[in-house]
Amino acid sequence: MGSTIAEKIIKSHLVEGEMVQGTDIGLRIDQTLTQDATGTMAYLEFEAMGVPRVKTERSVAYIDHNTLQTGFENADDHRFIQSVAKKHGIYFSRPGNGICHQVHLERFGIPGKTLIGSDSHTPTGGGIGMLAMGAGGLDVAVAMGGGTYYITMPKMVRINLTGKLSPWVSAKDIILEVLRRMSVKGGVGKIIEYGGEGVKTLSVPERATITNMGAELGATTSVFPSDEITRQFLKAQGRESDWVELKADDDAHYDEVLEINLSELGPMAAAPHMPDNVKTIDELKGKKIDQVLIGSCTNSSYLDLMRVAHILKGKTVHPDVSLGIAPGSKQVYNMLAQNGALADIIASGARILECACGPCIGMGQSPNSKGISLRTFNRNFEGRSGTADGQIYLVSPETAAVSAIAGVFADARELGEAVEIPMPEQFLINDNMIVPPAPVEEMDSVEILRGPNIKPFPISEPLPETISAKTLLKVGDNITTDHIMPAGAKILPYRSNIPYLSNFCFAVCDEKFPERCRAEGKGIVVGGSNYGQGSSREHAALVPLYLGIKAVIVKSFARIHLANLVNAGIVPLTFVNESDYDTIDQMDELEIPNIRELVGKSEITVYNKTKGTSFKVNCTISERQRDIILAGGLLNYTRESVK
């Protein structure tokens, strides 16, 4: 039996375990990336390991999230990250150089290599045939130190693309169709692999749009073949020598196969408040809008913005609409400026934002109260925009641009014949905003610069024999990391300050939660299905750790958050019978005896002392994860092992 693309990369990087679905495997990691919202904590963790210099082929620190400097905090973090990068062998992408995933695709990504990043949209790299995965910052720190990255061997899903997209229908509409079919939890435990004749009709930026939003499926990652189109993209980036061909064998086995005829797709939108709440533009056409934002790591490529510029040329943004556009990288921005497209965008009345994540993470450009905002982003979780009652729709750049002119949801197909934007034969290459690390002989003289907002990693303790604590919070299904640890301009500057962040933990669900935690000193959280979906932010585990949360009991977990809980030393438990969820009320006192002996080995009995009842839970983790939990977290477990 032949191998899939993902299986080939896994096999060539396997250092521990066997490629048996559902079992723990350890991978050698070639490249890592961080961004500044997660990077400060990741580098504090790296420092704690005592490894003098990174051991990966390439590690890059990007500044793209916390670029709104309303106080000293963000600037101090950036200075800290730059000094750590210089000292420890990490390349540093300065503020203004662009969004990590866009820049990494342009300048560093290599087909067939493994990449993990402390950002859930790291699978963007699958657009050029990388095995690229989002991970918690501590996992990234371990990989930088030469440690192994562990995942559960996933199932393989093939999505066959046939036909060709109709005029004004885009790659965003393809991934929205996949989300419509599979849902935000349909990819859990799976790698999504794209194939079929339709793949040949998609450029690398279009493929990257699709793999980027594969994160919204809950998938481990998504990947495209590395073919002649990939080679041409890398050649245009001056990196043809990085290209290798990579494709699935004809007799490769897939656990699931989906068929999508690109010719049958039309423009779509994900309606509030989930990326899988997909509707056709025909259903929404004529609905008044208030705001349009174009950019993010999903849709800010040269091709995306050239199409937007064509639509906007000679027109004016509707007077009732605010249009903001953020190029994904300095390379894109420069090229738009040189060819005149930027002038067309500016003349339309669009507001040009810096090359950064910006409004995608709630960093500015929040819509008006109950405002309807069309965004080319990847997430529309409730409150993520910074406006609690904002109505966020996810759309393609084409739909966004034509709607900004019309003032209502509009169909770009009515523009007639589509504009053909060719891929450049040569991109503008200027890496002057990427700072290389200091030479080995100079690293000892580099001073690490720390600001007063940078606080130590929270202390975790080895797992006790018994956990006895109250249920300090009970939540429902599809709780995201934005619910657990919100983003936004007011909170993100404190990502390196866990004590301060703790004031906002679960504030979206219950603003009294931190107060209860401090009063009780310890606690348990109970939740529904797909708990912890969304961002890779380990703060959604570290802050509950700081607040004394000892265990989380849910119907099911999202992959990265489960790993982050283990890394923090918080016990992740799932109901054996999901109906037992209904028997627990907030503030019920729960006791889990013999937890140290039973965790990760067999069913565990939880006693509800308030109700006088009991129920069964599982702790489905690997033997290695069990050892991490027993030690009180990954930092304790690995502090000496990677030196």
Give the residue numbers marked as catalytic. Answer: 64-65, 119, 379, 535, 537
Residue 23: other Cβ atoms inside 10 A: 11
CA quadruple 455, 456, 457, 458: dihedral positive or negative?
negative
Amino acid (1-letter code) at residue 21: Q
Distances (CA, A) of 418 to 172, 177, 231, 616: 16, 21, 26, 58
Short-list 322, 336, 305, CA closest to 371:
322
Amino acid found at 582 = D
Q: Is 258 exposed, middle or buried (0-12, 13-18, 19+ CB in 10 A)?
A: middle
Put the strands of the sheet holding 14-16 in their side by side order: 14-16, 24-27, 149-152
Distance CA 89, CA 435 (A): 11
Rounded to 10 deg, the angle between the 72-88 and 36-49 helix axes is 50
DSSP for 527-584, please give it.
--TTBTBS---THHHHHHHHTTEEEEEES-B-HHHHHHHHHHTPEEEEESSGGGGGG-
Q: In whole angstroms, give the CA distance from residue 24 to residue 4.
A: 19
What the block records as the tokens of 90 is 């990490």
By the 8 A CB rule, do 509 and 462 touch?
no
Angle, alpha carbons 493-43-146 (nearest 5°) = 150
DSSP reduced 3-state for 132 = strand
Q: For residue 389, give both structure tokens.
A: 């009652």
Whether the Cβ atoms of residue 93 and residue 62 lie closer than 8 Å to each other:
yes
Distance CA 643, CA 641 (A): 6
440-444 CB contacts, 8 Å cutoff, 24+ apart? 440/53, 440/89, 443/52, 443/53, 443/86, 443/87, 443/88, 443/89
By the 8 A CB rule, do 367 and 290 touch?
Answer: yes
CB 3 within 8 A of CB 125: no
Q: What is the DSSP letter of 365?
A: -
Cis peptide before 78 (omega within 30 of 0): no
Which residue type sits at 475? V
Strand order in the sheet with 391-394: 278-280, 268-270, 391-394, 372-375, 291-294, 322-325, 351-352
563 contacts 511 by C-beta, under 8 angstroms: no
Q: Answer yes or no: are the C-beta atoms of 325 and 358 closer than 8 Å.
A: no
